[in-house]
Amino acid sequence: MSALAPSSQLIDRFGRTVSYVRLSVTDRCDLRCVYCMPEKMKFVPRSQLLTLEEMESVGRAFIKLGVDKIRITGGEPLVRQNIMQLFRNLGEIDGLRDLTLTTNATQLEKYARPLKDAGVTRINISLDTLRADRFKQMTRIGDLKKTLDGIDAAIACDFQQIKINTVVLRNYNHDEILGLVNYCIERSIDISFIEEMPLGQNDHHDRAVAYYSSDQIVEDLEQHFELVPSTMTTAGPTRYYQLTGHDNARVGFISPHSHNFCESCNRVRVTAEGRLLLCLGQEHSMDLRRVMRANPGNSDALQQALVDSMEIKPKGHNFNLNSQEVLLRHMNLTGG
Ligand code: SAM
Ligand code: SF4
């Protein structure tokens, strides 16, 4: 165990500093996206989840150790009861530069303004298609209008950044790449295209067949735009491009298969049960719920556990589309 120095930072064995935490506040969701979870998903019993107070303690401990960006994610974060209290409490902590949210937008009409008032700086919103029938197919139960209305409500609140996240699957939505980029240009918001990651067993489609690479998307878009690599970063894995003549919208790529981003990894995740995951694609973890419940009110013990966890942060993921081995964790448990 390494002793906790007064100004400790989180630095792993490979010299990478952890400054960004993704905090999953629930594994539950009001949608069932086909790449994320099975139709009959078995959720974690509520009794096993961290309380909102425990989640705040985790956030505070990370901030004391130099973390300056926290993304609230899930599952769908906005279905967790009383979640606004957590946003408000985190939003007041000195040292937190960026408080961000990933959401499917179904409840943003109601929550966009309170989120802005609580100090949320940026919102990522999942949107894979602009066709209502396809939206229903890809989310199994969703109503496209609710999500589009939620996006408009967020745009009206003037966040620092709104970014659409699109998981591209061949033969499901790859023909909508241009339409989605134009939708974002019209609204002056950014978009990231994501390569599907092999998290959790998937009986819906063959991930190797549905793979659509970021390079292919760049090629598709170059038929219509000039793409210029951008130096912009939001401290995450996205590589951004500027579109010449459209300064109001950027196109980003999250490419776990084609452009491995592990070398510059600055992130860890905490699941809704309080399991600190040190890599998206590996099982190395630490049970923060156990640490907190064994040492109630002792924030030093929690911080010490976070510092110690740096010893087991792995070098990178080994995602392999053709492997029979997949992580058992679905993305809603992992916190995307
Ligand atoms: N419910 C919220 C949402 O959909 O934005 C937040 C949680 S969701 C798990 C976070 C992000 O993970 C979304 O952008 C979603 O598209 C992405 N995602 C889910 N499953 C994925 C997978 N297997 N591969 C890549 N991205 C995935
Ligand atoms: Fe829910 Fe987000 Fe997963 Fe879709 S991607 S099922 S919205 S958690």
Distance CA 186, CA 70 (A): 29
213-251 pLDDT per residue, tens: 999 999 999 999 999 999 877 767 789 999 999 999 999
Q: How many CB atoms lie within 10 A of CB 17?
A: 13
- 153 within a domain of the structure (yes/no): yes
Q: How confident is the model at residue 327 (pLDDT cuts 50, 70, 90)?
A: low
Spatial separation of the C-alpha atoms in residues 33 and 137, rounded to whole Å: 8
Q: Is 181 in the pocket of ligand 1 (CB under 6 A)?
A: no
Is residue 226, in this structure, part of any structural domain at all? no
What one-character DSSP code corresponds to residue 297?
A: T
The domain that holds 286 is classified in CATH as: 3.20.20.70
Q: Is residue 38 part of a domain?
A: yes
The answer to the question of residue 105 being in a domain is yes
Ligand 2 atom at minimal distance to the Cα of residue 29: 1
What DSSP designation does 51 have? P
pLDDT tens column, 8-45:
899 999 999 999 999 999 999 999 999 999 999 999 99
Asked if residue 225 is part of any domain, the answer here is no
CB-ligand 2 contact for 31 (6 Å cutoff):
yes
Distances in whole angstroms, Cα of residue 120 to Cα of each of 72, 102, 173, 198: 10, 11, 30, 30
Residue 223, Cβ neighbours under 10 Å: how many?
7
Does 245 map to a domain? no
Mean of the per-residue pLDDT values of the chain = 92
Q: What's the CA-to-centroid distance between 332 and ligand 2, angstroms? A: 6
Residue 1 vs residue 291, higher pLDDT: 291
Q: Which of 42, 332, 333, 334 to mutate to test the pocket of ligand 2 (most atoms within 8 A of CB)?
A: 332
Inside any domain, residue 244: no
Q: Mean pLDDT, to the nearest integer, of 268-278?
A: 95
* Nearest atom in ligand 2 to 102's CA: 2
| 198 is a domain residue | no
* Cβ neighbours for 53, distance < 8 A, ≥ 6 positions apart: none
What per-residue confidence (pLDDT) applies to 320?
A: 64
The domain of 109 spans 20-162+262-334
What number does the ligand 2 atom closest to the CA of 106 have?
A: 7
Judged by its nearest atom, the ligand closest to the C-alpha of residue 211 is 1
Give residue 328's pLDDT band: very low, low, confident or very high (50, 70, 90). low
pLDDT score of 2: 54
Q: pTM for the complete prediction?
A: 0.94
* For the CA of 167, the nearest atom of ligand 2: 5
Q: What is the DSSP string of 265-281?
A: --EEEE-TT-EEES-TT
Number of structural domains in the chain? 1
The secondary structure element, H or E, covering residue 287 is strand 285-287
